[in-house]
Structure 1
Amino acid sequence: MRTICVITGSRAEYGLLHGLMKEIQTDDDLHLQIVATGMHLSPEFGYTYRQIENDGFVIDAKVEMLLSSDTPTAITKSMGLGLIGFADALSSLRPDLIVVLGDRYEIMVAVQAAMIANIPVAHLHGGESTEGAIDEAIRHSITKMSHLHFTAAEPYRQRVIQLGEQPQRVFNVGAIGLDNIRNLPLLGREDFEAAIDFSLGQGVPSFLVTYHPLTLSKRSSAEMIDELLCALDRFSDARIIFTKPNADTDGRMICQRIDRYVSERSDRCVSFVSMGQLKYLSAIRHVDAVIGNSSSGIIEVPLFKKPTVDIGDRQKGRLKSSSVISCGESADEIEAAIGVALSSAFQAELPYTASLFGSGNVAPQIKEVIKCVELDHITVKKFYDVEL
């Protein structure tokens, strides 16, 4: 029996990996291990490891690493703690393969520990580009330490190969988050409003807002979140659902700004540390626009035929559907982009939006590869030179 260890550090990443974890768990030829780390173990972020357990999974190891600060120094120290913790966890669990997704620092240290332990790594969502965040460098670093690659689009597959990875080990399967849209029975409007204890109102616009720090920007996160909140105030009757940012540099400061904004407008605003996949995807289904700089606005939202207002450079470099409106970071630019998103002309084009990341059924494809691929000597990598 092949042992597959899935490592997850945040509620958003777990939501994407959930279907693949179920595929592994229910396969008689595979044994699932789970390591929870990062925000999952933090009371500040809702102890979301409990959701993993409530979904019927057993967590085999918990790697504590987050310090109670989000300065660059604190995050670097957290990475050091994580590397020590993963060294112990992987030594104890001894999986045949680890599975990771994305580009966060807690995932990078897990992969570093696996590399030193000579454990093969399967990486989801490599080859993408996000020029406004340190995620860009982390993502490509994880690619170079990984051995199997599952990309969300063909241009991303080509970029992974360009990084020197063997083409036969790079699979374009589409974005795994689309599986949830296809498979989850999303809530109707009344049930959704009851689930979050918040009304979207009648005859007024409704927004879902997620804004993360730009970790490579020279402008302060305080300045940029204030510009966004100023723009939102210009839609004074709008109903707004905020989901809070990840544990990145300045994330706590953004949360504080959001909390103050919501407390002063509690009649029409609400915020959540973690909504979970069901409520989050149901929110996309029922709001009029998704606003912020989250990758979900680029990857998942177009499948709902809803507009995304993508702010700033955090997602610069990603493939973007016609439903995505990219704008600058000033209040005026954000206001103008929201206006376009709500306009009748733009709304009329939304039904023709095409997903650039497949249409789902990704988890079964990945499961079959990691189940059947030959793992002997897979950690011995030969650089693939692209012909120029």
Structure 2
Amino acid sequence: MKKICVVTGTRAEYGLLYWTMKALEEDPELQLQLCVTGMHLSPEFGLTHKQIEADGFHIDKKVEILLSSDSTVGISKSIGLGVISFSEAFAELKPDLVLILGDRFEIFAAATAAMISKIPIAHCHGGEATEGLIDEPIRHSITKMSHVHFTATEEYRKRVIQLGEQPKSVYNVGALGIENINKLELLDRQSFEESIGFELGEKNVLVTFHPVTLENATAAHQFRNLLRALDELKDTKIIFTKPNADTDGRVIINLIDEYVKAHPEKSIAFISLGQLRYLSALQYMDVVVGNSSSGLIEVPSFRIATIDIGDRQRGRIKANSVISCSPDYASIKEALENAFSADFTALLKDVKNPYGEKDASQEIVRVLKETEVENLIKKKFFDL
């Protein structure tokens, strides 16, 4: 059987890969191997590898790379440790192909190790743009190390080809997160409230804000501006999801904890809601506020407003339900007022998600089954 090794390092990424992993596991011609790394193995970020195992997946390798540091030096050291550790894991597992998603530093380390080990790489969600993040150059670097590409839109497919990849190896399968929306049986309001131990209100906001990693120490100032604007909302409950293991991430985590401690009657915070509770929450939210890719990719399918703050997602394709604003207090306040306005609420009922309505996993598995891995390693640059 063809051995496909999936690498996952975050709760969000695992949620996106879930159905593809299921499809790989169920296919009699393929063998799923699973390497878990990064935040999945960190107590600080919820030890989410336990959820992977609870979902019935066998973890072949737990690759420890995450240092207890969110500094630039700490992240760089984690990448170095990742390259060493993944090279050892791949030497033992001997996969025929490595399947990865996205643009985080953990995945960059895995891609580097696979490339040097002469193992073909299939990459999901290439060709996208996030001009405020280190993810931007990491993503395009992973594209150049990869051999098969699964993009979320046709525009992103064209961008991967623009980077010199052969058109026949680039497939527009739609955003993987859409499949969760299509397939998961989401919780009703009462069940969702019971699952989080928190009662929703007349108005509800979900906040998911991460550091802008190509800026120097802006996280605290920007997040305080957001908290100030949120604090002025009347009759509104707030759910915070905490940031990933990124530079200055702990600054935001501390500010969230301080705010929730001071306002327990109207706010609650989670290290990880998980895919089911996160998507269930979106059914009952009025606005999603922050700078997460989810606000642009999954949230528009629920026809609710997204407020996208600052430059973190600058360059991504955005639905009409997305309000972009600067990370200053006045801009965030104005965006919130717009999101709750009657005119904008009326607009939402006709919103179409630019990331499609496809179930990507079956197409990904079909391509991986049909791909002859022996002929992938030596790539020819495609000139436009």
Normalized against structure 1, the TM-score is what?
A: 0.98
Give the equivalent residue in structure 2 for 1:62: 62
C-alpha RMSD of the superposition: 0.7
| 2-structure distance, mates of 1:221, 1:372 | 45
Indicate yes or no: 2:138 matched with 1:138. yes
Residues 101 and 123 in structure 1, CA contact (< 8 A), matched pair in contact too? yes
**Map of 1:1-388 to 2, 5 A cutoff?**
1-201=1-201, 204-218=202-216, 220-386=218-384
Shift of 1:377: 2.0
| 2-structure distance, mates of 1:147, 1:49 | 28
Q: Deviations over 1:191-250 (max 9, x none)?
A: 11111011112xx32100000000112452111111111111111431000000000000
Q: Deviations over 1:61-105 (max 9, x none)?
A: 011011111000011111111111101000000000110000000
> Residue 385 of structure 1 aligns to a residue in which SS?
coil
Moved more, 353-362 or 88-97: 353-362
Amino acid at match of 1:2: K
The number of residues matched between the two structures is 384
| 2-structure distance, mates of 1:15, 1:70 | 23
| 1-structure distance, mates of 2:3, 2:325 | 45
> Residue 352 of structure 1 aligns to a residue in which SS?
coil
Amino acid at match of 1:131: E
Q: Deviations over 1:133-153 (max 9, x none)?
A: 110000000000000000000
> Residue 206 of structure 2 aligns to a residue in which SS?
strand
Shift of 1:22: 0.2
| 2-structure distance, mates of 1:189, 1:79 | 41
Residues 217 and 248 in structure 2, CA contact (< 8 A), matched pair in contact too? no
Normalized against structure 2, the TM-score is what?
A: 0.99
Residues 186 and 278 in structure 1, CA contact (< 8 A), matched pair in contact too? yes
| 2-structure distance, mates of 1:38, 1:375 | 27
| 2-structure distance, mates of 1:93, 1:218 | 39
Shift of 1:170: 0.2
Amino acid at match of 2:140: H
> Residue 3 of structure 2 aligns to a residue in which SS?
strand
Moved more, 76-85 or 175-184: 76-85
> Residue 286 of structure 1 aligns to a residue in which SS?
coil
Residues 288 and 307 in structure 1, CA contact (< 8 A), matched pair in contact too? yes
| 2-structure distance, mates of 1:219, 1:302 | 30
Shift of 1:316: 0.4
Name stretches of at least 5 consecutive residues in structure 2 with no aligned partner.
none
| 2-structure distance, mates of 1:357, 1:149 | 16
> Residue 375 of structure 2 aligns to a residue in which SS?
coil
Shift of 1:46: 0.6
Q: Deviations over 1:99-142 (max 9, x none)?
A: 00000000001000000110000000000000011100000000
Residues 150 and 173 in structure 2, CA contact (< 8 A), matched pair in contact too? yes
| 1-structure distance, mates of 2:382, 2:102 | 22
| 1-structure distance, mates of 2:316, 2:376 | 30
| 2-structure distance, mates of 1:94, 1:291 | 43
> Residue 238 of structure 2 aligns to a residue in which SS?
strand
Shift of 1:312: 0.4
> Residue 209 of structure 1 aligns to a residue in which SS?
strand
> Residue 5 of structure 2 aligns to a residue in which SS?
strand
| 2-structure distance, mates of 1:46, 1:123 | 26
Shift of 1:164: 0.3
| 2-structure distance, mates of 1:266, 1:290 | 20
Residues 303 and 349 in structure 2, CA contact (< 8 A), matched pair in contact too? yes
Residues 127 and 151 in structure 1, CA contact (< 8 A), matched pair in contact too? yes
| 1-structure distance, mates of 2:139, 2:265 | 40
| 1-structure distance, mates of 2:350, 2:52 | 36
| 2-structure distance, mates of 1:90, 1:345 | 54
Shift of 1:373: 1.2
> Residue 349 of structure 2 aligns to a residue in which SS?
helix
| 2-structure distance, mates of 1:360, 1:85 | 35
Amino acid at match of 1:374: E
| 2-structure distance, mates of 1:239, 1:156 | 36
